[in-house]
A = this chain, B = another copy of it.
Amino acid sequence: MKMHNFKYEGSGLNRFFGPLEAKIMEILWTTTAALTIKEVQAKLDQDKVMNFNTVMTVMNRLVDKGILQKNSVARSFMYKPVVTRDVFMETQSKELTFDLIEEFGSLAVTHMVDALDKVDPDLLDKLELKIKELKKDR
């Protein structure tokens, strides 16, 4: 279930998935219960109904990639994500942050401060606190 890319474009799940994949994951992560293909197809519907086979193909590819799991129930399959959205985000954040620092080192440090300040200055305080905490424990 290893991701391969973090896309510069888009936002949210679109950073990790193709557009249709992202919509499907959005639906599955928004719903608590597992869903059938038909249910996902129904929830997808915006302007035009997606072809059933299209939805099925994409969902089964997500199963192949280890992102979804399917369970046979009666005559259909029920699909649901292998991990929760929170766990997914947590994993990606950890992986990417680590890679970023590994790759850019002190360059990234500079940009972090700028970015935090711009996106949400409160996070700067939070970061400062975290650093202090870590240092205290030694």
Residues of A within 8 A of B (CB): 2-9, 11-12, 15, 89-90, 92-120, 123-124, 126-128, 130-131, 134-135
Give the distance in Å from the alpha carbon of A105 to the alpha carbon of B116 in the complex: 8
Interface of A is mostly: helix
Checking B94, B100, B105 against A96 with a beta-carbon cut-off of 8 angstroms, the contacting residue is: B100
List, in ascending order, chain B residues with CB within 8 A of A12's CB.
103
State the number of copies, please: 2
List, in ascending order, chain B residues with CB within 8 A of A96's CB.
6, 8, 96, 100, 104, 108
A121 to chain B, nearest CB (A): 9
Q: Assuming the A-B contacts A124-B134, A128-B128, are A97 and B99 also in contact, with contact meaning beta carbons closer than 8 angstroms in the complex?
A: no
Checking B3, B5, B15, B127 against A131 with a beta-carbon cut-off of 8 angstroms, the contacting residue is: B127
